[in-house]
Structure formats: structure tokens, C-alpha cells
Structure 1
Amino acid sequence: MGNCLAEPHTKDDSDHDVEFAGGNVQLITTKESWDQKLAEAISEGRIVIANFSATWCGPCKMISPFYRELSEKYPSLMFLLVDVDELTDFSATWDIKATPTFFFLRDGQQIDKLVGANKPELQNKITAISDSMIQCQK
């Protein structure tokens, strides 16, 4: 259930030991790619889960394999990953106070948020969103 304060740390080679993206997680490296993925999700009627993370953050490293697993288990959802150090100005617009922070977006609007690497809570929120989407399709 930990989280890291959102402030830059000195990077070293060990920061790259954990692969944060993968599975169906799409790494966002520019504001333009964020806008493109959000527009794609809106046009496809998909809900976005955006993980604002940092490579130096221990809890982020701990939850990233679980986040990848969830992305494969719920392919109807769009899983995005934003490195707060790579997109500092963009991350600041989301008022990130700690990493990881997960935002849940429908039609480009925030519907939920989770701060910290809480696996059970992340699973519960994603399951609830997925179940609500199934109910809406019936």
C-alpha cells in the first residue's frame, strides 16, 4: 500500500531493471500520444486506466507486473503508463502528489482515482468498472 512522494530522484542503471510497460500497457511519452490514446478510447467507448509512475519508485516497481497482468485480463479497458519524470509538466497538470497514482477515465473525464500501490483496491476498482461496462452492454 506504499507510495513515493512525487519528486525527482537521481537515476542509476538499477532503475531500468523493471520493465514498466508490456502486456497491453501502452507507454505515453508525449502529450500528443496521450491526446491520441484518449481520443481513441473515447471513439471506441473504452475506459482508460492511467498509471502515473516513476522508475525510481519502489512501490511503482512492485505493482507494475500486476498492472501488466490486469491489462491482459481486461483487454476491453485501455491501460496507459505515464512516467512522471519524463512528462513532468504534463504530470503536474494532474496534480500528482505521490506515485503510483492511477486515474480512471471515461470519455476523457476522471471517474475515479487511486493513490498508492494497493493491489486489492486496484483490482476491485478495475473489476467494478469492467462489470459496469458489461451491464451497460446488456
Structure 2
Amino acid sequence: MGHHFSTPAAFAAEEVDSPILAIHSKNAWNDHWKSHKDSSKLMVIDFTASWCGPCRSIAPAVKAMAAKYTDVVFVKIDVDELSEVAQQWKVQTMPAFVLVKGGREVGRVVGAKKDELEKKIAQLRA
């Protein structure tokens, strides 16, 4: 069972697999925030860092949640890349998941607490 990427379709399918939007610049964040802040959709901001072990360990679970809850917007922010955004949300410990709806924080999970995160998402997405 090898991976064959002979057709562009295979690549497309691979992309759909991860509906998490990785944001790498302050401008991209500002644009995303503007477009989302008036939305009634739940947004989960995943504050992560490349050197953070627990962040890596929970990543597959977050990816699975993003695939499962297609009505929720998942955003990933590297705190080293966008420290201003992390400060804006007063994030000090990674991983931190800030749940936002209608432009304000409605919940937060700090640490690689997969079950707690999923419970909160299921609760707040409605």
C-alpha cells in the first residue's frame, strides 16, 4: 500500500484531508479575523510551537476533529512566528486552543487535552 501521487486528483484529496488553516503572517491573521469575526461559526485557534512535544502529540487528533467538524473553522498559529497574536490572546502555554465565536472568546483549553477539547467543540459549535 504505497502512496501514488500520479494525478493531481490524488494531491487534491490529500489536501482535503487537513482542513486546518495555517497562518504565517500578521496580515493573513488580520484578514482571516476580519472575515470571521462577525460569523456565528465556531473558530478554534490552535496555538502551537515546533519545539513543543505535546503540540506534536495532539496534532493528529486536532486534524481528525477538523475533518469531523466541518462546520468549525480550525486555524493553526505558531507562537514563534506570530508572537504578537499569541500575546493578543494571552497565550503562555502550548498547546493552547482558543475557541472564538462572533469575535469573542467562548472557551479555552490549555494543554494536550484531546477529550476536553472535543467536548468543548461539540458543545460550542451548535
TM-score in same-fold range (> 0.5): yes
Q: Is the Cα–Cα contact under 8 Å of residues 47 and 77 in structure 2 kept in the other structure?
A: yes
Matched, 1:80 2:80: no
What displacement does 1:129 show? 1.5
Name the residue aligned to 1:106: 101
The runs of at least 4 consecutive aligned structure 1 residues that moved more than 2 Å come to: 38-45
Residues 1:39 and 1:71: Cα distance change in structure 2 (over 3 Å) = same
Matched, 1:68 2:58: no
Percent of aligned pairs with the same residue?
A: 29
Letter in 2 for 1:41: H
Q: What SS does structure 2 have at the residue aligned with 1:98?
A: coil
Residues 1:120 and 1:34: Cα distance change in structure 2 (over 3 Å) = same
Moved more, 32-41 or 101-110: 32-41
Q: Could you list the per-position Cα deviations for residues 75-132 of structure 1 after superposition, in whole angstroms to 9, with x for gaps in the alignment?
A: 11100000001112221222111000100001111111110000110110111123xx
Map 1:110-125 onto structure 2 (within 5 A).
110-125=105-120
Letter in 1 for 2:65: L
Q: What SS does structure 1 have at the residue aligned with 2:51?
A: coil
Letter in 2 for 1:49: V
Q: Distance in 1 between matches of 2:70 and 2:102?
A: 17
TM-score of the pair, normalised by structure 1: 0.74
Q: Distance in 2 between matches of 1:64 and 1:31?
A: 23
Matched, 1:30 2:49: no
Q: Distance in 2 between matches of 1:129 and 1:94?
A: 19
TM-score of the pair, normalised by structure 2: 0.81
Tell me the number of residue pairs that the alignment of Structure 1 and Structure 2 aligns: 110
Residues 1:41 and 1:90: Cα distance change in structure 2 (over 3 Å) = closer
What displacement does 1:72 show? 0.7
Q: Is the Cα–Cα contact under 8 Å of residues 100 and 116 in structure 1 kept in the other structure?
A: yes
Name the residue aligned to 1:48: 43
Cα RMSD of the aligned pairs, angstroms, is 1.4
